[in-house]
């Protein structure tokens, strides 16, 4: 029941937990038909929208989390959608549903509050469900060490435990038991690459003890590496593997779309787990060759210097493999 208001589905979850993969699958399965999708990315360079081409309408809110830096921008965009809706006669063309995929650093609770306390949005939008993806491989460690990941789970109506194909059953059972204690009312589902599968049972499992955490550890931030076509890809691959091997706990997420002689390639990793590169269809007017590295415990410029030193250049003496980093 939406009492005439537009529904909004909030899709959250920690960095790399599988939100885009899950949403992509839902869109292919024709769930959320006709919905307007908003993708929020912490980094300035959007990547996820390239993967969600099935959405009937998609917009990107990049360069900050919708729960903090980009909160005002989110509210403005939602107001704009409400305006458009109010001017559209009721019927098929009238927008009924918004899906908001948050960045992996967003606290869904703060977004819910922003919507519910806005005098205009509260009359036009009903948050119908908060779905939170939990990484089947890294979720337990995130719950232990990251207060944000706990807040995300606590805000959920539905939890989707992802990567069931990769995680081992014993730790999955423990993860589910921990989720049940943190968010007892939430429905728990499982997913493999976005397809729904029965979740492991948490029955009889002992939940992971969660230590009291004194606030957030140091801030997690994105660094944008803008590559140019003179980069030596083999050296880049070695640099990335070495970086993840040495600093895989600090470098939480890497993702980017690069142009290679074979076509557009999606590169991504979550902690030390690197996904096999995926070919993407050509897309006019996109600014590719950008890699976003998200993490903490290092300086963005040091990352850049290390790549410049390591990944080398094809031409001797040319150190300009990177156009820009922020």
Ligand X SMILES: Nc1nc2c(ncn2[C@@H]2O[C@H](COP(=O)(O)OP(=O)(O)OP(=O)(O)O)[C@@H](O)[C@H]2O)c(=O)[nH]1
Contacts with ligand X, residue ranges (CB under 6 A): 13, 15-21, 48, 104, 133, 162-163, 165-166, 191-193, 253, 255, 268, 270, 275
- Shortest CB 18 distance to ligand X, Å: 4
Among residues 118 and 189, whose Cβ is nearest to ligand X? 189
* DSSP-assigned letters across all residues of 212-252: ---S--SPPEEEEEEE-TTB-HHHHHHHHHHHHHHHTTTEE
Closer to ligand X by CB, 77 or 253: give it. Answer: 253
**Residue 11 Cβ vs ligand X, minimum distance, rounded to whole Å:** 9
Tokens 């550890």 — which residue? 217
- Residue 129 in tokens: 């469900």
Residue closer to ligand X (CB basis): 278 or 318: 278
- We find the least distance from the C-beta atom of residue 166 to ligand X, in angstroms, to be 4
Cβ(8)–Cβ(84) under 8 Å?
no
- Comparing CB distances to ligand X, the nearer of 11 and 126 is 11
Paired tokens of 66: 């919708």
DSSP letter for 198, please. Answer: P
| Least spacing, CB of residue 17 vs ligand X, in Å | 4
In the complex, minimum distance from the CB of residue 204 to ligand X, in angstroms, rounded to a whole number: 25
Q: Count the Cβ atoms, other than its own, within 10 Å of residue 319.
A: 10
Q: Which of 5, 253 has the CB closer to ligand X? A: 253
Residue closest to ligand X (Cβ):
104
Those residues whose C-beta lies under 8 Å from the C-beta of residue 275, and which sit 6 or more positions away, are 267, 268, 269
The answer to whether 12 and 131 have CB atoms below 8 angstroms apart is yes
How far is it, in rounded angstroms, from Cα 72 to Cα 77? 9
Q: In sequence order, which residues have a C-beta less than 8 Å from that of residue 142 and are 6 or more positions away? A: 14, 135, 149
- Least Å distance, CB 91 to ligand X, is 33
Residue nearer to ligand X on the CB measure, 197 or 206? 197
């Amino acid at each position: 029941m939406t009492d005439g208001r537009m529904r909004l589905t909030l899709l959250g979850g920690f960095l790399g937990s599988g939100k885009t993969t899950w949403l992509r699958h839902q869109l292919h399965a024709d769930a959320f038909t006709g919905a307007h999708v908003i993708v929020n990315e912490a980094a300035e360079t959007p990547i996820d929208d390239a993967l969600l081409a099935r959405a009937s309408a998609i917009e990107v809110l990049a360069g900050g989390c919708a729960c903090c830096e980009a909160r005002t921008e989110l509210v403005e965009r939602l107001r704009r959608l409400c305006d458009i809706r109010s001017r559209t006669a009721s019927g098929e063309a009238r927008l009924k549903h918004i899906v908001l995929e948050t960045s992996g650093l967003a606290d869904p609770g703060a977004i819910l509050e922003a919507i519910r306390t806005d005098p205009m949005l509260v009359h036009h939008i009903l948050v119908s469900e908060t779905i939170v993806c939990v990484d089947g491989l890294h979720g337990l460690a995130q719950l232990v060490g990251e207060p944000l990941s706990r807040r995300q789970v606590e805000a959920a109506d539905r939890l989707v435990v992802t990567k069931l194909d990769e995680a081992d059953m014993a730790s999955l059972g423990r993860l589910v038991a921990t989720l049940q204690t943190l968010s007892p009312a939430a429905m728990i589902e499982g997913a493999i690459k976005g397809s729904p599968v029965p979740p492991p049972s948490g029955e009889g499992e002992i939940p992971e003890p969660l230590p009291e955490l004194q606030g957030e550890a140091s801030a997690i931030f994105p660094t944008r590496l803008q590559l140019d076509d003179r980069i030596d890809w083999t050296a880049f691959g070695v640099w990335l593997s070495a970086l993840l091997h040495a600093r895989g706990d600090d470098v939480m997420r890497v993702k980017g779309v690069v142009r290679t002689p074979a076509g557009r390639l999606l590169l991504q990793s979550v902690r030390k787990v690197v996904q096999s590169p995926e070919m993407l269809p050509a897309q006019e007017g996109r600014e590719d060759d950008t890699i976003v590295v998200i993490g903490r415990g290092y300086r963005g410029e040091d990352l850049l210097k290390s790549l410049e030193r390591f990944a080398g250049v094809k031409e001797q003496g040319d150190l300009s493999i990177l156009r820009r980093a922020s």
